[in-house]
Amino acid sequence: MMCASSPNTNPGTEIGTETSHQPNLHVNVKKNHNLTALRVSANGRYLETSQGVAFFWLGDTAWELLHRLNREESDHYLRTRAEQRFTVIQTVLLAEFSGITTENAYGRLPFYMDEQGLPDSTRPDSDGVYSYWHHVDAILELVASQGLYVALLPTWGDKFNQKWGKGPEIFTPENAFSYGKWLGERYGSHPQVIWVLGGDRPLETKSHFDVVTSMARGLKEGGAMQLMTYHPPGCDSSSRQLHDEPWLDFNMIQSGHGEREITNDWRVRQDYERKPVKPTLDAEPCYEDIPIGFRGEQGYFDATDVRKAAYYALFSGAFGHTYGHHSIWSMYQGTNDLVDSNRQGDYFIMTWREALHRPGAAQMKHVRTLLEQELSSELRPNLDLIYQNRAGENRAVSLQNKYSAYIYLPNGLYVDVVMGYIEGKHVKATWFCPRTGETIEVSSDLAILNQGIERFTAPTSGRGNDWILILKGV
C-alpha cells in the first residue's frame, strides 16, 4: 500500500522551523478548556457532560487521519467538520493501511522493531522532537481546540485478527495489556477522548477476546477514566458478544456498506431492547460515495442513503449518529494514491478535500438541529404512532417525548398517525425537510384534534424526498 506521502522532514527537525524542503510544522493550537469528560446518563439511554448536559454524538469516520495527514491538512479537516457542526471524530492510533509498517506524514513509525523485524508494541517510539506520538499529541490538541471529541481506537482489528487486511498480527493478551496501560498513562486524562476497542474485525477465538479485554484493563490501570466501547465488523453490534462486559459503557453498531437496503433501524432497536440498558448508536453506516457492496459497477450510496441511515437509527433509539465518506475515512489523495485498493479506478471517486463538502455531509447538521435539544429521559422510539406502517423502502420510523412526536418518511407519501400519544387537546403539525432544515406549517389554526387517526401528506414524494412530520401538543 502506498504511503500518504513520502517522508518530507527529518524526525529531528524542531517544530516550527521551515526550509524549502520542509512543510510548516507549526499550527497554532488554542487549548479548549470547555470540554469535559462524557458519562452515561442516569437512564442509560444517552451520553452527557459532567454538568449533566445531554451530548449529541454527530460523528465522522476519519480512520486514517493520524496516519496519513500532516498538521496543516489535519487542521483544515477538523476546522471544516467543526464548522459543519460535527461533534465527534472517529480515528485510529494504529491505522488499517499498514499503519504500523509505513510511516506517517513525517516519516515516523509508532513502534521500534523487534529481532524478527516486526513492530514491538511494548516499545513505542517517542524519541526525537516530533515522533509519531508527538504528532498524535498535536492532533488531539487540534481536535479539542475545535470543541470536538475523538473516538479513539488503540488499534485497527487486523493487528490481532488478520482475517483480511495488511496486519501484521502483533498483539497477545500480555502485550495488549502493556500497550493499553501505556496509552492510559499518556492520554487517560484527556477529556476529549472516548476509547473504542476492536476495529472492524470479529472476535473469533478466546485469544481475540483476551486481547480486547486485556487492552481495556490496561487502559484503566494506566489511568483512563473515559468511556469505552467496541467497534465491530460490518452488519454487527458490540452488544452481540460484549454487552455484559463491565468495561463496555455503550454499544456501537456497524451497519456497514454491503447491503443495499438500509436496515439499521432494526439493529438499533435490538440494542435498545437489551438488558441491562446501555446507550447505542450506528457508528459506521453506509458511507456517502462508497460502492454498494464494495463494487463500483453496482453504483454508490448517496446523500439520500446517508440521510435515511441517520434518521432510521435516531428514530429507533440511538443517542447519536456517525456520518462517513469513503474518501475521508481513507484520506484519499487522488488518482495516484492507494493504487492497490483503487486498481479499477472506481473504488474511490474523489479526493478527501472534495469529499468534505458532499451533500450528505452538509445535511448532517440538520440532524443535530432537530434532535439535540430533545435528548432527555423522556425521548423514546414509538412505532405505535404509525397506523398500518409500510414495509421495505417506504417504512416509516417514529419517536416521541411527552409533548412532541417525530415521524420520518423516507420517500414522502403520506402517513396515518394514531393520535393521543402526546399530551394536548390539539396538535400543531409541521413538516421538517432533512435536506435544507426548513419547516412548513401544516395548519396555522391549531384545529387538529389529538384523537383518532389523522392522515398527513408530505409536501413532495419520491426517492430523495424524505420528510419528517413533527407534532407538538397544544
Kindly report, as residue ranges, where domains of CATH 2.60.40 are found in the chain.
Answer: 382-473
pLDDT in tens, 390-402: 999 999 999 999 9
pLDDT of residue 4: 31
Q: How confident is the model at residue 221 (pLDDT cuts 50, 70, 90)?
A: very high
Is the backbone of residue 334 left (phi > 0), alpha (psi -120 to 50) or beta?
left
Closest CA to 83 of 22, 148, 23, 136: 148
CATH topology of domain 382-473: Immunoglobulin-like (2.60.40)
Phi, psi for residue 80 in degrees, rounded to 5: -65, -45
Question: Using one digit for the tens of pLDDT, what is the confidence trace for 230-263?
Answer: 999 999 999 999 999 999 999 999 999 999 999 9
What pLDDT, on the 0 to 100 scale, is given for residue 445?
66
* Predicted confidence (pLDDT) per residue in 423-440, tens digit: 999 999 999 999 999 999
φ and ψ of 228, to 5 deg: -135, 145
Q: List the Cα angle 466/305/325 in 5-degree steps.
A: 135
Confidence class for position 271, pLDDT limits 50, 70, 90: very high
Which pLDDT belongs to residue 3?
32
Q: How far apart are CA 334 and CA 389, in angstroms?
A: 44
CB neighbours of 324 closer than 8 A, spacing ≥ 6? 60, 61, 284, 285, 286, 287, 288, 306
pTM: 0.93
Q: Are 105 and 68 in contact (CB under 8 A)?
A: yes
Task: List pLDDT tens digits, range 8-57.
Answer: 333 333 323 333 233 444 444 445 458 999 999 999 999 999 999 999 99
Strands 397-400 and 404-409 turn out to be: antiparallel
CA–CA separation, 305 and 320 (whole Å): 17
pLDDT score for 444: 66
Whether 290 shows a pLDDT value over 80: the answer reads yes
The neighbouring-strand residues paired with 193 are 150
Which pLDDT does position 467 carry in this prediction?
A: 98
For 91-119, the DSSP string reads EESS-TTTTTTS--TTS--SEEE-TTSSE
Q: What share of the chain has pLDDT > 70, as a percent?
A: 92
Would the pLDDT of 96 be above 70? Answer: yes
pLDDT over threshold 50, residue 5: no
Q: Outline where 57-192 has alpha helix (H).
A: 65-68, 71-83, 132-145, 173-187
Q: 251: Cβ–Cβ under 8 A, 6 or more apart, which residues?
A: 229, 237, 238, 239, 243, 271, 274, 278, 279, 280, 281
Nearest to 306 by CA among 291, 285, 327: 285
Q: Which CATH number fits domain 39-374: 3.90.1150.10, 3.40.1830.10, 3.40.50.300, 3.20.20.80?
A: 3.20.20.80
Residue 446: predicted pLDDT: 66
**Cβ(95)–Cβ(163) below 8 Å:** no
Q: Quote the pLDDT of residue 12.
A: 35
Which pLDDT score is estimated for 33? 54
Beta bridge partners of 97: none
- The pLDDT value given to residue 343: 85
